[in-house]
A and B are shown apart, each in its own frame.
Chain A
Amino acid sequence: MILAVLFANAEGNILIERFHGVPAEERLHWRSFLVKLGADNLKGVKNEELLVACHKSVYIVYTILGDVSIYVVGKDEYDELALSEVIFTITSAVKDVCGKPPTERRFLDKYGRICLCLDEIVWKGYLENTEKDRIKRLIRLKPPTEF
């Protein structure tokens, strides 16, 4: 299960957060844990370089893309490698929507589109679509070209 996908800006403010199967009372804990993780480790990291951590039986893969840091949390079959696939799909979709690694402003400008992409990529805690061209068509309600 992909437990959480979270986007934060450089100051650690949350831009998007989506939880799956995480009780509401635990979300605050995850939010602050992830933001602190990023603050401790993401400084000077190159765009899309993947960092990894584990917390109890839960895995976290996170990276930075432009002004935005992205965190994906998973457990069981969504271990560090599966999560790296998830985050790769997310970063390529975000780059595709924004045209390049986004500034915070650009990210917010394309906010609606990015939410739609996420909806296509993660469906109720499971990874679904992985190809950016397919995602690009699906969010515009266009049928994909390949099956």
Chain B
Amino acid sequence: MAQPLVKKDDDRDDEADYSPFMGIEKGAVLQEARVFNDPQLDARRCSQVITKLLYLLNQGETFTKVEATEVFFSVTKLFQSRDLGLRRMVYLIIKELSPSADEVIIVTSSLMKDMNSKTDMYRANAIRVLCRITDGTLLTQIERYLKQAIVDKNPVVASAALVSGIHLLQTNPEIVKRWSNEVQEAVQSRAALVQFHALALLHQLDKGKCSLTFGPMSLDPLYKSGNSTQSGDRPFYDFLESCLRHKSEMVIFEAAKAITDLNGVTSRELTPAITVLQLFLSSSKPVLRFAAVRTLNKVAMTHPMAVTNCNIDMESLISDQNRSIATLAITTLLKTGNESSVDRLMKQITNFMSDIADEFKIVVVEAIRSLCLKFPLKYRSLMNFLSNILREEGGFDYKKAIVDSIVILIRDIPDAKESGLLHLCEFIEDCEFTYLSTQILHFLGIEGPKTVDPSKYIRYIYNRVHLENATVRASAVSTLAKFGASVEELQPRIFVLLRRCLFDSDDEVNFYIISYIASLNYVVRDRATLYLNTLGGDIEIDKDVRDFLFGSLDIPLVNLETSLKKYEPSEEAFDINLVPREVKSQPLAEKKAPGKKPTGLGAPPSGPPSTVDSYERQLLSIPEFANFGKLFKSSAPVELTEAETEYAVNVVKHIFDTHVVFQYNCTNTIPEQLLEDVIVIVDASEAEEFSQVITKPLRSLPYDSPGQTFVAFEKPEGLPTTGKFSNILKFIVKEVDPTSGEAEDDGVEDEYQLEDLEVVAADYILKVGVSNFRNAWESLDPDSERVDEYGLGQRGDGLSEAVNTVINILGMQPCEGTETVPPNSRSHTCLLSGVFIGGVKVLVRLSFGLDSTKDVAMKLAVRSDDVNVSDAIHEIVASG
């Protein structure tokens, strides 16, 4: 809010002597407003008081309800005045005061009178004011007048009614929808503005959404409708292209933007648009430069090659005074640049980074990370750049973005590992963020021991034990212990260091801090003792404990959290083996969400808690299935009926080691029927290795109350046996009296054909992701590796379709975002991970290539804990 304006220096211009609102005070203005009640209205004075009221309102001053009501009452008296200027002010102040519903009534009659006035401008303004302050009940009363106004001879009146309609559509759509005949008529009006407003309202009535603006912006709905209805041929393209030669810059730009936004736009279609945008890049107007570079930046995400022609102009924008433009230029260049231009670009960016805000820097860091992954050979200069900016000042988000980028580069570019780790070590020497320090220490514990010379990291880690807060100290102790556990020759030296940690001085206060923050709840000393015991063999330590302390936790954290929350303290200890390992696949909509950023230090992306444990509980409660053992996997429900049929049935496949249970979820959608003794007759003639053992019928299936029937099969132990099953729903149907809701005593036997069901290889593989595929791959026995090549023939949609097909056949979890194939790629590597039935970990590396005849070739490499499983994966792919 503004400070009271003070008197300016005398040497200023005379007219700037003092503010007309100097010393303005709400109470005084409210007093002045009594002038509205004078029998002889002074229009000029009244206008001045309204201006003061507006000034107060615009300054953020608020009126109490009593004050507002009082002012509002007085304002209504001003309708008596014939002064046009005052009347216009009255309309404005009523809108600004936005009275509450019970006050609106006071002013309604005056406004209604104006709405029927002979003066067109009164009518138009009264409509606008009424529509602004009205509610649904009043609107029905004035609807008749509004409909008349839409077809009023005077364009200002018609426009006022139409524009009001556009806004009322948001609050009272059912009323506005009744005006379509009048709106249609208004479209035929001779006044262009009325036509435009009518069209806008019509468009909004149809689509529920429209942009109400003038002139060039009318292109907006046009190209949107062109976009949505046309996919192949584009009747609007020629028009848009001709707009590129329009005299108005705005029209040119909107047309260019519309072209770049077309669905599946080709490079050929893009060219003329890019050319005009390139011209805008060197415009003297910052707004045009910004608009052009913003659009080109967007195009560069999908068509980087189309934008390369603009690179020279874009480079000159790096020094643009406007930092938004410079940042957009840089990130675009980073997307379109080629390998040879990287070094030059980095030099330019270095100068630029020092004078932009953190939010811009983060964008640049993310762009550099993508560039480095694109040109791994350039990792040296890009990594150096990241480490340099890591040393400079910056907030937490910025630093985290840099650290995340370095971690991702270390994971994906093996050559960058050593230098990247050292950069991180140097960073924690002087890092003010506890979170980043602990995360880096954890990461060092995983990656450090695998390097050629792990000993060089020890100094950095041990320094943290001395110089940091308790949380970081505890992390450092864990990291030291990990080095000790993984690198035998370092063990004696690590012991010495860990023993020193026993003298750590943390006290009760630290204990609470650490208990709260550190996940394992050990104080530094206790951690050191624990690790010393574990590594030193002073006491007998179980292999599981070592695995738990030093191995990777291969349980999705979300699942662990859910299980821990469910666990109630009792005699029975929490069993980590009972935590479900399957990451439930994300809903489709979420999967399709574009622009998902790779995660750095954080946990691998994981879905919501699994439903597997609830299935397991349900199945174990059925005595017939109690001896089937542990549930390995439950499939997603497979629909066996079409939508909106009499009976809706879907099936969930539950896989056990030696059994498969089909759970048929049935819903009766006919109110007049009660179904009893519902079973599914399963024909397994095309599933020879399965033999039916149990059928559990559903006694009663009333209307709209889903129930389950089960059929269980025995199958060879631990094998991924497949087969096809046909299903018929069999039941006794009884008529139900709709009035009493009672069923008749006698029923009729009936059948209902269901769709076939297949048990496929993917049912035997759990989707379990790994956070670091390379490490996981290297940790598996190379002798278990099985490699073979496959020809997949021609694929309609290039590599993408081939990759998805193989992922679906195997039912494994894609890792590190490798399921996405960049457009127009000629080769692609996809990494998959999973757990095979029997709890065998399995990893798959798929390399796809496209030859000149568009035939897809695939090399499949598998590693697993069991060679037989590696072979089984090949068999699955060969038969799929």
Contacts and interface: CB of A to CB of B under 8 A. Distances in A.
Nearest to B3: A13
A96 interface: no
A141 B87 CA distance: 8
Nearest to B58: A16
Contact of B217 (A13, A82, A139): A82
A45 B220 CA distance: 32
B58 A17 contact: yes
Contact of B21 (A76, A103, A108): A108
Contacts of A105: 13, 15-20
A115 interface: yes
A18 B58 CA distance: 7
Nearest to A111: B51
B171 to A, nearest CB: 11
Given A14-B60, A16-B58, A50-B286, A116 B92 contact: yes
A111 B154 contact: no
Nearest to B221: A77
B51 A115 contact: yes
Contact of A108 (B19, B192, B194, B213): B19
B591 to A, nearest CB: 23
B121 A112 contact: no
Contacts of A116: 88-89, 92
B253 interface: yes
B375 interface: no
B88 A141 contact: yes
Given A50-B285, A52-B324, A112-B47, A127 B54 contact: no
B478 to A, nearest CB: 38
Contact of B95 (A85, A109, A119): A119
A39 interface: no
A22 interface: no
B291 A81 contact: yes
Nearest to B1: A14
B59 A143 contact: no
B290 A80 contact: yes
B254 A140 contact: no
A49 B287 CA distance: 10
B2 A15 contact: yes
A84 interface: yes
Given A77-B220, A103-B13, A103-B16, A82 B50 contact: no
Given A53-B324, A80-B291, A116-B92, A104 B19 contact: yes
Interface residues of B, number: 66
Contacts of A78: 213
Given A80-B291, A80-B294, A103 B250 contact: no
A126 B159 CA distance: 14
Contact of B89 (A84, A112, A124): A112
B291 A13 contact: no
B332 to A, nearest CB: 14
Contact of B214 (A13, A111, A127): A127
Contacts of B85: 140-141
Task: Give the bracket for the number of chain A residues in contact with chain B.
Answer: 35 or more
B167 A127 contact: no
Contacts of B21: 108, 111
B155 A51 contact: no
A75 B95 CA distance: 24
A18 B156 CA distance: 24
B438 interface: no
B322 interface: yes
B55 interface: yes
Given A52-B290, A103-B15, A111-B55, A82 B213 contact: yes
Contact of B287 (A41, A80, A141): A80
B316 interface: no
Interface in B175-217: 190-194, 211-215, 217
A137 B724 CA distance: 80
A141 to B, nearest CB: 4
A81 B59 contact: no
A81 B119 CA distance: 37
B191 A13 contact: no
B418 interface: no
Given A13-B2, A77-B220, A109-B20, A115 B15 contact: no
B131 to A, nearest CB: 10
A115 B2 contact: no
Interface in A36-57: 41, 49-54
Interface string A130-141: 100000001111
Contacts of A111: 20-21, 51, 54-55
A100 B254 CA distance: 32
B22 to A, nearest CB: 9
A95 interface: no
A49 to B, nearest CB: 8
A131 to B, nearest CB: 10
B125 interface: yes
A103 B14 CA distance: 11
Contacts of A138: 121, 156
Contacts of B468: none
A81 B88 contact: no
A49 B193 CA distance: 29
B132 interface: yes
Contacts of A29: none
A67 B459 CA distance: 61
Contacts of B95: 119
B184 to A, nearest CB: 19
Given A50-B287, A54-B324, A85-B250, A139 B88 contact: yes
Interface string A70-90: 000000111111101100000
Interface string B352-388: 0000000000000000000000000000000000000
15 contacts: A13-B2, A14-B1, A49-B286, A50-B285, A51-B322, A52-B287, A53-B324, A85-B213, A105-B18, A108-B19, A111-B51, A111-B55, A115-B51, A124-B132, A141-B84
Interface of B: 1-3, 5, 13, 15-21, 47-48, 50-51, 54-55, 58-60, 84-85, 87-89, 92, 95, 119-122, 125, 128, 132, 154-156, 163, 166-167, 190-194, 211-215, 217, 220, 250, 253-254, 285-288, 290-291, 294, 322, 324-325
Give 6 nearest A-B pairs by CB, closest first: A112-B51, A13-B2, A147-B191, A77-B211, A105-B16, A141-B84
Given A54-B294, A76-B211, A108-B20, 17 more contacts: A16-B58, A52-B287, A80-B294, A84-B287, A105-B19, A111-B20, A115-B51, A115-B92, A119-B92, A124-B167, A126-B212, A126-B213, A127-B213, A140-B85, A141-B125, A142-B84, A147-B191
